[in-house]
Amino acid sequence: MTKEEKSKMWKKWTTKKKNMYILARKFPRLLPYFYRRSFLSGVHGQIETTLALSLAIRDKALLEHPLFEKFWQRDVEESVRQKNAKPFVEEAVLQVSNWGFSPADLKVQRKRPGKGIMHWIKSLFGQTEEILTGFLGQIHVWQGMEDMVVPPSTSDFLQRVLPDAMVHRLLYEGHFTYFYFCDECHRHIFSTVFGNPQGPFTPEPEPEPDQSPIQNDDGETQDTILGDVATDEENVSSVVNPDKEDYID
C-alpha cells in the first residue's frame, strides 16, 4: 500500500486499536494482559468497545438491536469459555504478519520462463506453452462506503493492484450492516457470483397414484385383481363360442 492509502486507513482507527496493532507487531507478549482485561474478564460490553472499533451510524444501530446483542453475547461466551488468551494473541499476530503473498499475486499474468541453460535449449528446439498464473475467475469485492473498520481506501488499493476485479461500492453501508442478518444481501451476493437460480429451491413432490379400493353403490368395497379379470373374459369367450377350436401351427 502507498503512504496515502495507509494514512487513510490509519485515520479511521481508534487510539486503542492503534496501540493493539503496535503491540501485536513489536511486543506480542504483552497482549495477554489486555485480553484478560477485555474478552476474558467476563464482562461482555459493547462490541465496539471490546474490539476498539470505529463504527458509523448504521453499524451502531445494528449493534444495538436485541437480535445482534443476543448473537454477540453467545459468541463471546463461546470464545471465552476456556479462558485461554493464546488463541487471541495468535490471531492478533497473524493479522499483522507477512503471509508470504500479496493480493497482486491473484492478477492473471504470464508465467515467467525458468532460468538456466536447459530452459534456454528447450526454448530453441521446442515451442513452449504459454502458462497463465493467478486467479482466472472473476473477483468480486463488496465495500461499504461508511465502513470505518475496513475503510473504502482498502477497496481503492485492491482495485489498483487488481484492475480486473469488480468492486461493488455500497452506499450508506457499514462493516456489519451488509453481512449480518440481511437475507436480501446474501441473495444478491450469491446471485452475483453464481448467477440466478434455475427453477424452484425445493422441488415439488410428485403426486402418488390413487390406489384406493373401488366401492359399489351399496357402499361395499370391491377388490379388483387384474389376473381375475383376464380369466373371467376368457371364460365368457368360451361360453359364447363353444364350438371354436384352437389351432396351433
Q: Tell which of 85, 100, 115 closes a domain.
A: 100
**140-144 and 166-170 as β-strands: parallel, antiparallel, unpaired?**
parallel
Per-residue pLDDT tens over the stretch 9-37: 787 787 888 888 888 888 888 888 888 87
Considering the domain architecture, whether residues 170 and 95 belong to the same structural domain is answered as no
> Which amino acid is located at 71 in the chain?
F
What is the residue range of 172's domain? Answer: 131-194
Per-residue pLDDT tens over the stretch 188-205: 999 998 888 776 666 566
What does the pLDDT average to over 150-156? 87
> What average pLDDT is seen over the chain?
75
Q: Cβ-count burial of 185 within 10 angstroms (0-12 exposed, 13-18 middle, 19+ buried)?
A: middle
Q: Tell which of 164, 194, 224 closes a domain.
A: 194
